[in-house]
Structure 1
Amino acid sequence: MQENHSLAGAGDYPSRGNIPTRRGFGEALLEAGRKDRSVTGLCADLTGSLHMDLFRDEFPERFVETGIAEANMISMAAGLAATGMKPFAGSFAVFATGRVYDQIRQSVCYSRLNVKICASHAGLTLGEDGATHQMLEDIGLMRGLPNMTVVVPSDYSETKRAVKALVEHEGPAYLRFGRPPVPDFSRDEDGFEIGRSIELHAGKDVTVIACGVMVWKALEAARILEMEGVGVRVLNMHTIKPIDRLAIVRAANDTGAIVTAEEHQVNNGLGDAVAHVCGENIPVPIEMVGVEDSFGESGRADELMKKYKLTTEDILEKIYLALRRKY
């Protein structure tokens, strides 16, 4: 595996404002459809929520509105892929993975078909819709499937780059993004390569490995500790599977302690994946920021992130703990 990008300085990543990642998905799908006539869209009655109406309006002949029939949607996508098309099937994360797991396992992954499962409204940041819709187990469900690639971009711009990469990627893939506006800070010049992390901040004392909305919070923590003289390496692990093993091993070797951060259950998500790599190669103290084996609840996104300990302050607390264990 190639080395990850190395980009020093958290100041290189100011926010350009808050934009929903789902908007990045919709815009990138439209751009992909203009360039590649094999790109096809399918959605289960959530077209506006995923901004797939942009694709539908310009390419109605390549779009299928399945209605509230997610299992049928995945089966249709598998059929389209078998004919050489590149289907992007979109729904909320709780429906796109949990409701249709059997179809994904049998029709997509077992058959190695080129279906992209695109899931919006994941995690606690879904907010007021509550525990039944706040999918916190989807990364684990998808990374456990043979042949599946799992991608969790950090912001609007990276979501657009992820879609472009997935158009060229052959095989089953899961793309996870969210509902609310979040800081847009990533840079086009960083590129996007599936399976290759991006180092956003250099540091030799501890490494924070984050995905999705937690990447920005990891950068915030790095900026705070930089003023205290603590060097925090920040890795944007946008691909959970295949995970960037080389970057993880190098971070463990260089810094001697790791903190993971994800808007997902700590069980079976990014933290588990990182711990597995370290356990096989270079055991170091690892602390995990994530949901601790519980369901969510209804509330504002910011309130929920605070209650379930998914804030910058919680990352800082785990960094201090990891440093104490290191020494």
Structure 2
Amino acid sequence: MAEKIATREAYGKALAKLGKVNEKVVVLDADLSKSTKTSEFEKAFPNRFFNMGIAEQNLMGTAAGFAAAGKIPFASTFAMFATGRAFEIIRNSICYPKLNVKICATHAGITVGEDGASHQALEDLACMRAIPNMVVINPADAVSAEQAIFAIAEYHGPVYVRLGRAAVPVIYDANSFRFEIGKGIELCPGKDAAIIATGIMVAEALQAREMLEKEGIEARVIDIHTLKPIDKEIIIKAARETGAIVTAEEHNILGGLGSAVAEVLVENSPVPMKRVGTRDTFGESGKPNELMIKYGLTAAHIVEAVKEVRKLK
């Protein structure tokens, strides 16, 4: 995991590649194309790129119109504005009629860093997961992100993809990895506890596993890149075989991955569980790595949670 690439960077490159093989793809942005990296598509296909200005409701409404006309629109802006300012349009104009719109929102989570609390979306997954007909995806690295973009282009219906600003470790091998919507990935086996992570926290989970291994604790690591529809089978299997679950997300513990996993467990295989994530709070301006420490989102915090949950077995 030496190489680091931001998932937004992978998104931009994937769009440019996708545009070459699928003429139905159009891309819309809210005056942030250099940051969201949709500028990569704009350079290659200027006639299929539309800058909607700083008007996020219009961005989503226009994307809905493109979808109704048979195109495959990818609509991008920062996660805070996509899921916050444009929520009602997404709900009523995209998800209610189940239109084929792909909302790819960047700069999500606490690692937005210096932009501060107003730009750090920590509730976007919860908001999107609650809307009927919406698929919710949060890739762990650049390889997963690129393949996710191609996968959602083939899927017919609304999709929300969460992408990050900061460079993160590359976990997967592009030659062997295959992204499948709704299918979690067991990255490492383990019998003592299972760490179920999403997005950038997958890398932290892998690091936590190495730290635990030195203490004789075998932790299973699972990447849940699709929060909705969630892979119930892999979660239930982990619960039955390890007897203890820790979730890890760069998101509020309310409504995101932790909540989604808890819902599966309580109805199918209740076991002790701990959630690593922001604890019902807003973020603040700061360096991403320092914020990760302050808000409890590091491998060390996952290790602590695993040790605590094992005591409850």
- With structure 2 as the length reference, what TM-score do the two structures score? 0.99
Match of 2:20 among 16, 34, 56: 34
| Alignment: residue pair count | 312
Deviation at 1:49, TM superposition (A): 0.5
Matches within 5 A, 1:148-167: 148-167=134-153
1:197 aligns with 2:184: yes
Q: How does 1:1-327 map to 2 (within 5 A)?
A: 15-188=1-174, 189-326=176-313
Cα offsets for 1:254-285 (capped at 9, x unmatched): 00000000000000000000000000001000
CA distance in 2, matches of 1:241, 1:82: 23
How far does residue 190 in structure 1 lie from its aligned partner after superposition?
2.6
> Shift of the alpha carbon at 1:16?
3.9
- TM-score, normalised with respect to structure 1: 0.94
| Amino acid of the structure 1 residue aligned with 2:250 | E
Distance in 2, Cα, partners of 1:128 & 1:224: 29
Amino acid at match of 2:210: R
Q: Is the 8 Å Cα contact of residues 205 and 232 (structure 1) preserved in structure 2?
A: yes
CA deviations over 1:200-246 (Å, ceiling 9, x no partner): 00001100000001000000011122222211110000000000000
Where does the alignment leave 5 or more consecutive residues of structure 1 unmatched?
1-14
Contact 1:25 1:163 in 2 (8 A): yes
Separation (CA, whole Å) in 1 of partners of 2:50 and 2:163: 21
> How far 1:58 moved relative to its partner?
1.1
Distance 1:120 1:64 in 2: 17
Question: After TM superposition, where is structure 1 displaced by more than 2 Å over at least 4 residues in a row?
Answer: none
Find the aligned partners of 1:93 and 1:201 in 2 and give their Cα distance: 30
How far, CA to CA, are the matches of 1:225 and 1:264 in structure 2?
Answer: 23
User: Take 2:260 and 2:190, find their aligned partners in 1: how far apart are those partners?
Assistant: 22
Q: Report SS of the residue matched to 2:125.
A: helix
* Cα distance in 1, alignment partners of residues 76 and 276 from structure 2: 28
Letter in 2 for 1:41: V
Amino acid at match of 2:25: V
Question: Hey, what's the Cα distance between the residues in 2 that align with 1:234 and 1:278?
Answer: 17
The residue number in structure 2 matching 1:8 is: none
Q: Deviations over 1:95-154 (max 9, x none)?
A: 011000000000000010000001100000000010000000000000000000000000
When structure 1 is superposed on structure 2, of 183-192 and 258-267 the one drifting more is 183-192
Aligned partners of 1:190 and 1:198 also within 8 Å: no
Give me the identity figure in percent. 50
How much has 1:20 moved relative to structure 2?
1.0
Deviations along 1:41-70, one digit per CA (max 9) or x if unpaired, are: 000000000111110011111110001011
The alignment partner of 1:195 has SS state of coil
Residue identity opposite 1:235 in structure 2: I
The separation in 2 between residues aligned to 1:253 and 1:88, in whole angstroms, is: 39
Other structure's SS at 2:92 match: helix
Amino acid at match of 2:245: I
SS for the counterpart of 1:233 is strand
Over aligned residues, Cα RMSD in angstroms? 0.7
Kept after mapping to 2: 8 A contact 1:75/1:103: yes
Shift of 1:156: 1.1
- Counterparts of 2:259 and 2:166 in 1: how far apart (Å)? 26
SS at match of 1:264: strand
1:253 maps to a residue whose letter is R
C-alpha separation in 1, matches of 2:2 and 2:269: 37
Which deviates the most, 249-258 or 185-194? Answer: 185-194
